[in-house]
Structure 1
Amino acid sequence: MVLLEALNLEVRYGGISAVKGISLAIEPGEMVCLIGANGAGKTSTLKALARLLPSSGEIYYGGEHIEKLPAHALISRGLALVPEGRGVFARLSVAENLDMGAYHRNDKDIESDLQRVFQLLPRLKERQHQLAGTLSGGEQQMLAIGRALMGRPKLLLLDEPSMGLAPLMVHKVFEVIRDIAAQGVTILLVEQNARLALEVCSRGYVMESGQITIADKAEALAADPRVRAAYLGE
């Protein structure tokens, strides 16, 4: 069964077509990457899938048409986006940011989920009373991921989690992403560090000028001369 499927997805900004009728599919438990240069349409694709941008075409999530649903309706269905640039609430504490991730929930497991996030991301527990805006870039990225996890996602859309981070922090963030995937969360990863993305994912799509030009298993993409020349610096 396919968890997420987009058919002929198109996103336009006025007269400019940013995403040009792409199709993609992700099965439960997969970790799939979407790689490409700046301006290829990767972020627009994620925002359209999360219903933060209007689009044409069809989007199915869990077998349900979702292209007409508002973004907030997808959170309770288990689809969460960690946006490019992290987007934390700078004037709220770490704990308050995490609480915002569970805003739609009224069950009794929120506290236990919070403790699981703290176990996965111990730095957040250490800094839970600190204002989010005073965290380092890597800590804010971890907070954005933790906030999304508080919604109990089945599918996590990650947009450029390594952007602007020091190499050591990139390593730590991707360790966390691997751990999340190991817990059964399906992941669609947009990442400019193509080498790293292909190392952690099982499949990938290459996007160029709003179109998907190559789709294959990660190891095949890593060996493809076109990918190696354009995205792996070889």
Structure 2
Amino acid sequence: MSESETLLDISQLEVAYGGIRAVRGMDLTVQRGELVCLIGANGAGKSTTLRAICGLVPVSAGSITYDGKSIAGTPSYTLVRQGLVMVPEGRGIFGQLTIEENLAMGGYSRKDQNQVRSDIEHVFELFPRLQERRSQSAGTLSGGEQQMLAMGRAMISRPRLLLLDEPSMGLAPLMVEKIFEVVRTIAAEGVTILLIEQNARLALEISQRAYVMESGQIILQGPSNQLLDNPRIRAAYLGEEEAA
């Protein structure tokens, strides 16, 4: 693909906590319009990678390029204004505010408040459960509803690249299904997505390309449907026996 089609380009990324190298020589790209997933076990370095992209942890070495510009060390609030938005693990909603107020917070950097209100109504179409509870305090929502709210708030920021950190974590199977259905819808609307997910099967089923991370390094990458059929992946992440 041409350079202009590359929205995110990570090259030889290194991130260290104290003496521990959490990310080691990582290369990863996301093209415009793609849904790319990054899978791996707990502690592999997936969330650290997202935090480095968003400027939440310092980069030791390597480069992170977004839309053709180097962004390593750029403050998160600046990146949000440039369309790079993350839904963090743990959701990070404002429990004392109502659902509608939480969604409005997603548009804090936008000037077009009439359009923000229109976008909030679009989020309510995606998540009818939130519309039914729009005046309810966010802290009273279930875990799944809070995840819906966090994703909805991110959408109000009009992301060009949406980073999703473990959106299914701790959710009941039916809620996981709903969350992934919305991820598909968001991708279909043209938003580029980098998805980090422990549910490897679901992540591989909805993405075009995938990277597999172990101990801070990318060990495999390729089209998601090929990785779904990879015996090593099936044994390590899909709970299947690897053929002798």
Equivalent position of 1:72 in the other structure: 77
Equivalent position of 1:185 in the other structure: 191
Whole-Å Cα distance in 1 between the matches of residues 212 and 30 of structure 2? 15
Pairs aligned (count): 234
What is the 5 A alignment of 1:145-184?
A: 145-184=151-190
Residues 33-62 of structure 1: CA deviation (Å, up to 9, x unaligned): 000000000000011111111113111111
Residues 208-230 of structure 1: CA deviation (Å, up to 9, x unaligned): 00000001100110111111110
Q: 2:212 aligns with which of 206, 213, 216?
A: 206
Q: 2:129 aligns with which of 93, 116, 123?
A: 123
TM-score by length of 2: 0.94
Aligned-partner residue type, residue 136 of structure 1: S
- Identity percentage of aligned residues: 61
1:68: how far off? Answer: 3.0
Whole-Å Cα distance in 1 between the matches of residues 222 and 170 of structure 2? 28
Q: 1:137 aligns with which of 124, 129, 143?
A: 143
Aligned-partner residue type, residue 150 of structure 1: I
Give the secondary structure class of the aligned counterpart of 2:131.
helix
- Is it true that 1:31 corresponds to 2:4 in the alignment? no
Aligned-partner residue type, residue 85 of structure 2: A
Give the secondary structure class of the aligned counterpart of 1:23.
strand
Aligned-partner residue type, residue 195 of structure 1: R
- Is it true that 1:7 corresponds to 2:11 in the alignment? yes
1:117: how far off? Answer: 1.0
Equivalent position of 1:81 in the other structure: 86
Structure 1 runs (4+) deviating above 4 angstroms are none
Aligned-partner residue type, residue 183 of structure 2: I
Aligned-partner residue type, residue 191 of structure 1: E
Whole-Å Cα distance in 2 between the matches of residues 94 and 102 of structure 1? 14
Whole-Å Cα distance in 2 between the matches of residues 126 and 159 of structure 1? 26
CA RMSD of aligned residues (A): 0.8
TM-score by length of 1: 0.98
Aligned-partner residue type, residue 234 of structure 2: R
Equivalent position of 1:110 in the other structure: 116
Equivalent position of 1:60 in the other structure: 65
- Is it true that 1:42 corresponds to 2:46 in the alignment? yes
Aligned-partner residue type, residue 66 of structure 1: I
What is the 5 A alignment of 1:12-23?
A: 12-23=16-27
Aligned-partner residue type, residue 219 of structure 2: T
Give the secondary structure class of the aligned counterpart of 2:6.
coil
